[in-house]
Amino acid sequence: AQTVTQSQPEMSVQEAETVTLSCTYDTSENNYYLFWYKQPPSRQMILVIRQEAYKQQNATENRFSVNFQKAAKSFSLKISDSQLGDTAMYFCAFMKHGSGNTGKLIFGQGTTLQVKP
């Protein structure tokens, strides 16, 4: 069974600074996807970034980038130039890849990030 662990329940960062959220996972699968979702106070779940395990290159989306270490089963999210609107709960998630994929997302416990002015 796959598990996803986010060991930082809460973090804070000053506006315009950089912060890194940690995520580790456990799986025996070789092909899979990893995701970071953001849940602001509005409750809406928003996809931040997605990584395919077979790709060595780390995914980036504007100010958001990941550090994907497949051997270490680590998938951290770096937010650069933090903005007040980044204040939210961030969830790391895992999904199997391939013909047997049911689309089941397995989430970590979440990290609450507060960006301070």
Which of 63, 70, 78, 97 contacts other proteins by CB under 8 A?
97
Distance CA 61, CA 69 (A): 18
Distance CA 41, CA 112 (A): 10
Cβ neighbors of 12 (< 8 A, separation 6 or more) are 113, 114, 115, 116
Which of 47, 69, 83, 84 contacts other proteins by CB under 8 A?
47
Q: How far is the CB of 16 from other proteins (least distance, A)?
A: 27
Which of 50, 63, 70, 78 contacts other proteins by CB under 8 A?
50
By CB under 8 A, name the binding residues for other proteins.
33, 37, 39, 42-47, 50, 89, 91, 95, 97-107, 109-110
